[in-house]
Structure 1
């Protein structure tokens, strides 16, 4: 089997409905716009796809395909994912490929391999489980009272844990951290994501409040450029730290956080931010060697497969963007996500794909 075509597509995606916001200082939900899709085709007729889901990804991906990916991939064996993953990292040395695109070839190749063998990608990766609990990962709401109302709705809808994205103001966030614990009681797992809003002194203040309120993990309070700052934070607060989400370098950079003693809960695995599924598997296995977690970041299709494939992740991250709360379609009434059943990975249903890409839609109802 050989790769005979490498192409990119620009597909219009709608805006979030309703629109939502993140912490102070960050833009909110992305507007409507085109997203890029990579397709890798072979001489046997099997092909694989991957979605570049960030705003503005379509022209960046098209340029990358023309200059870098097509010349590199044509004629290659698509089942040699390990070799091709190393080749992309070699090319990154010169091109500095944007972090969310570093793993797009790898994701498309896992999709292709799953279709070739007739199994879902999570099974091809080895497989660990067939269902996993989801946590409700909030966007930023307007007040403490609204967060408490959202939390009640999430628990009623079956979610067993809640992660806060708050305002990025240490004083206000500490008030919310305490109020939510008092409101839901000791039996609900709570987590907090600082969205890189703090410096070290404020990260310590917030971390101490999280320790006192018995939060399960503390995620990305600072930009992940200084491993030393995270090491100091880990020595100062008791709440376990979940680190290495947006830092470049996949498992190599995650190793630095672990070696520094900063990953006291674990590290992030993410198909979109840790070098595709192969980079995430490396990250998860590295973390497992140190007996820490590799929590999967984000709720798209590749990350659903990743959740089913690795042993040391705890939850599926399900974004809650509205009040009234709407439970994500893949989360059942008991708060669990089940493993995908169709071969490969595919594309999310919903957008207006061109006819050439419709065969790749991962609509399980339509494929039964």
Structure 2
């Protein structure tokens, strides 16, 4: 279709400091270093996508993504934006991996396609705005006293669930959770994420068993992702359900984990899966296996997180949302997008497409390249 021919593509670096360091077992994060992709078609549609590269998880940085994106842009110019399978296959043909920057192009292409169809992106993906999305709020690693204070503040702010970063020694992590439970009480929903920090199955089992008394909903990625063959043993010995995160990048990872009965849950992120195209394949596999799914992200702005929220509405198996990182930004460059409401509720845009863009003043000031 000539009207939906890709006419121009722009890449921008989106750099925003965080309010305070966000600390996980893989190290501290102090600033957002993302890439925004803007795709324009001959008939005037404009699609936006965002990637949040993560050196220690997807092996990408804002600089590598900015360069690889410049391989993609000229290859997509002149193609039909509605040929999603063909455009996305071209990205895979050009370079292996690089799931983060691929996700930004995938999101922008889906934004264009949904606008062209006159549908909100969640409806274009086959979903409905028929469930209330709520986000948890994350407590980063620190002293028990600091983590307790943060958890109490998040509870008072009305977040329906609190996620806690762990991954230290057994004694330290038990002290952290004990302090948090003393602050928020025994029943407020509590989730934990080790980000591979316990490394081995034996160590993870010991910590999980020690945490069994604290009424924890689930634990994300307790061991090194290279040791995924050991996850089924961790699952069998753990009193806390296991959710795969770093070990579940695409649909092939998901299929392996399901076959191994390695975990009860999967955490889907667009930046791990290369975007909606593969993320939906993971969701369908998890749904068929009767699993509970979560959608999360890295350090995306409300633009990238709005894309994640559209994904969350596309599958009935997705019950948990981890969409809190934009609340950690010192500034919000997004126009439109989902809105945070009291109680951690996410209010979705209902117009055609993604429903989120980046403020033009931000884009003018950003490092950028155009094709």
TM-score band (shorter)? 0.7 to 0.9
Distance 1:162 1:249, change over 3 A: closer
Distance 1:23 1:168, change over 3 A: farther
Shift of 1:190: 0.9
CA RMSD in angstroms, aligned pairs only: 2.8
Q: Which aligned pairs between 1:122-271 and structure 2 lie closer than 5 A?
A: 122-128=122-128, 129-140=130-141, 142-166=142-166, 168-200=168-200, 201-243=202-244, 245-247=245-247, 249-264=249-264, 266-271=265-270
Distance 1:210 1:86, change over 3 A: farther
Q: Which aligned pairs between 1:258-297 and structure 2 lie closer than 5 A?
A: 258-264=258-264, 266-297=265-296
Shift of 1:185: 3.4
1:342 equivalenced with 2:351 (yes/no): yes
Distance 1:315 1:235, change over 3 A: closer
Shift of 1:278: 1.8
TM-score by length of structure 2 reads 0.82
Q: Which range moved further: 313-322 or 333-342? A: 313-322
1:245-266: CA deviations, max 9, x gaps?
Answer: 23475111111111111122x1
Asked if the contact 1:6/1:65 (under 8 Å) is kept, the reply is no
Structure ranking higher in strand proportion = 2
Secondary structure of 1:238's aligned partner: coil
Shift of 1:102: 3.0
Residue 310 (structure 2) aligned to one of 276, 297, 305: 305
Shift of 1:333: 1.5
1:330 equivalenced with 2:329 (yes/no): no
Secondary structure of 2:204's aligned partner: helix
Secondary structure of 2:67's aligned partner: helix
1:76 equivalenced with 2:79 (yes/no): yes
Asked if the contact 1:51/1:347 (under 8 Å) is kept, the reply is no
1:215-256: CA deviations, max 9, x gaps?
Answer: 11110122212221212211221211100x234751111111
1:14-67: CA deviations, max 9, x gaps?
Answer: 211x22131356132226x6x432222222221312122337855434432443
Structure 2 equivalent of residue 43 of structure 1:
42
TM-score by length of structure 1 reads 0.82
Structure 2 equivalent of residue 63 of structure 1:
67
Distance 1:36 1:351, change over 3 A: farther
Q: Which range moved further: 284-293 or 161-170? A: 161-170
Shift of 1:122: 1.2
Q: How many residues align structurally?
A: 341
| Structure 2 residue ranges without an equivalent (≥5) | 55-59, 329-337, 367-371
| Structure 1 residue ranges without an equivalent (≥5) | 323-328, 357-368
Distance 1:271 1:174 in 2: 32
Distance 1:149 1:232, change over 3 A: same
Shift of 1:350: 9.0
Distance 2:42 2:365 in 1: 20
Asked if the contact 1:46/1:116 (under 8 Å) is kept, the reply is yes
Distance 1:223 1:351 in 2: 42
Distance 1:310 1:123 in 2: 11
Secondary structure of 1:262's aligned partner: coil
